[in-house]
Amino acid sequence: MNHMKGFEKLPRGGGGKANRRKLPCLCLLLCWLLLPIWSVQAKETRRVQEITGHVELKERPFYYTLPNLRKGQTLYVFMQGTSNSLDPFAALLKPGTDVTKFRQDYLAEEKRLVDAGRDPIVVLPEVLSKFTLIWDDESGPGYAAAFTYHIPQNGNYQLVATSTLARPTFGNYRLLIGLNAPEVLTGRAQPTGDPIAVRHRLARQYEPKVEELFGAITPQDRFRFYLLPKMRTGETLSVFVEAMAGDLKPIVVLYDYGEKPLASANFQGQQTHGTFSFTFPEEADNCRLKITGQRPDGTISTGDYRMVLGLNAPQVLTGEVKGKGQEVVKGATLVRIGFNLQQITAVDQRAENFSVAGTLGLQWQEPKLAFSPDTIQNRAKVFTGERFFQHVHDNNIVVPDFTIFNQQGKRWIQNAVAVIWPDGKVEYYERFTTTLQAPDFDFRRFPFDTQKFFIRVDNLWPEWYFNYAPLEGFSQVGQRLGEEEWVITRHKVTFDSVMESSGRPVSRFIFAFHAKRHHTYYVLRLLP
pLDDT (tens digit per residue) in 40-78: 434 447 899 999 999 988 777 889 999 999 999 999 999
Angle between helices 99-115 and 120-131 (to 10 degrees): 150
Confirm if 252 and 329 have CB atoms less than 8 A apart: no
What average pLDDT does this structure show over 158-171? 91
Residue 28: alpha-carbon gap to chain centroid = 62
Q: How far apart are CA 172 and CA 170, in angstroms?
A: 7
Instruction: Select, from the ranges 23-32, 204-213, 343-352, the one with the highest average predicted confidence (pLDDT).
Output: 343-352
- The answer, yes or no, to whether residue 21 has pLDDT greater than 60, is no
Give the CATH number of domain 47-204: 2.60.120.380
What does pLDDT average to over the chain? 85
pLDDT tier for residue 444 given thresholds of 50, 70 and 90: low
- The answer, yes or no, to whether residue 30 has pLDDT greater than 90, is no
What average pLDDT does this structure show over 199-224? 81
Q: How far apart are CA 442 and CA 464, in angstroms?
A: 37
Q: Which of residues 65 and 519 earns the better pLDDT score?
A: 65
Query: Amino acid letter at 234?
Result: G
What average pLDDT does this structure show over 120-149? 90
Measured CA to CA in angstroms, residue 201 lies from 64, 65, 155, 198 at distances of 9, 9, 19, 9
Query: 3-class SS at 260?
Result: coil
What is the DSSP secondary-structure string of 438-476? Answer: -TT---TTTTS-EEEEEEEEEEEEETTTEEEEE-TTT-E
What average pLDDT does this structure show over 461-477? 93
What average pLDDT does this structure show over 494-523? 81
In the prediction, which pLDDT does 309 show? Answer: 94
Pick the CATH number of 333-526 from 3.40.50.300, 3.10.400.10, 2.70.170.10, 3.20.20.140: 2.70.170.10
Q: E strands within 180-332?
A: 198-199, 209-217, 223-227, 236-243, 251-255, 261-265, 273-279, 288-292, 303-311
Q: How far apart are CA 8 and CA 12, in angstroms?
A: 9
Q: How far apart are CA 430 and CA 360, in angstroms?
A: 5
- The answer, yes or no, to whether residue 341 has pLDDT greater than 90, is yes
In the prediction, which pLDDT does 34 show? Answer: 46
pLDDT tier for residue 446 given thresholds of 50, 70 and 90: low
The model carries a pTM of: 0.76
| Nearest CA-CA partner of 54 in 285, 208, 379, 209 | 285
> Which residues does residue 431 pair with via DSSP β-bridges, in sequence order?
359, 415
Q: How far apart are CA 453 and CA 347, in angstroms?
A: 10
Task: Give 373-412 pLDDT, tens digit per residue.
Answer: 988 888 899 999 999 999 999 988 999 999 999 999 899 9
In the prediction, which pLDDT does 523 show? Answer: 47
Q: Which of residues 35 and 210 earns the better pLDDT score?
A: 210
Q: How far apart are CA 380 and CA 517, in angstroms?
A: 45
Q: How far apart are CA 258 and CA 242, in angstroms?
A: 27
| Nearest CA-CA partner of 369 in 429, 420, 332 | 420
What is the number of residues in the chain?
A: 528
pLDDT tier for residue 188 given thresholds of 50, 70 and 90: very high
Q: Picking from 20-29, 219-228, 261-270, 344-353, which range would have the lowest pLDDT averaged per residue?
A: 20-29
Confirm if 206 and 320 have CB atoms less than 8 A apart: no
Q: How far apart are CA 158 and CA 372, in angstroms?
A: 27
Task: Give 71-116 pLDDT, tens digit per residue.
Answer: 999 999 999 999 999 999 999 998 878 877 777 888 888 888 888 8
**Long-range pairs for 119-126: beta carbons < 8 A, 24 or more residues apart:** 124/165, 124/166
Percent of the chain with pLDDT over 70: 85
Q: How far apart are CA 11 and CA 514, in angstroms?
A: 122
Confirm if 335 and 308 have CB atoms less than 8 A apart: no
Give the CATH number of domain 209-318: 2.60.120.380
Which residue ranges make up each domain of the chain?
47-204, 209-318, 333-526
Peptide bond into 281 cis (omega under 30): no
Quick check: do 209-318 and 333-526 share a fold? Answer: no
Confirm if 422 and 85 have CB atoms less than 8 A apart: yes
In the prediction, which pLDDT does 362 show? Answer: 98
Confirm if 184 and 56 have CB atoms less than 8 A apart: no
Q: Which of residues 282 and 120 earns the better pLDDT score?
A: 282
In the prediction, which pLDDT does 487 show? Answer: 77
Q: Which of residues 242 and 101 earns the better pLDDT score?
A: 242
Task: Give 273-325 pLDDT, tens digit per residue.
Answer: 999 999 999 989 889 999 999 999 889 999 999 999 999 899 999 988 876 66
In the prediction, which pLDDT does 11 show? Answer: 37
CA within 13 Å, CB half, 37: 5
Q: Picking from 111-125, 171-185, 338-352, 478-492, which range would have the lowest pLDDT averaged per residue?
A: 478-492
- The answer, yes or no, to whether residue 518 has pLDDT greater than 80, is no
In the prediction, which pLDDT does 445 show? Answer: 64
In the prediction, which pLDDT does 520 show? Answer: 56
In the prediction, which pLDDT does 40 show? Answer: 41
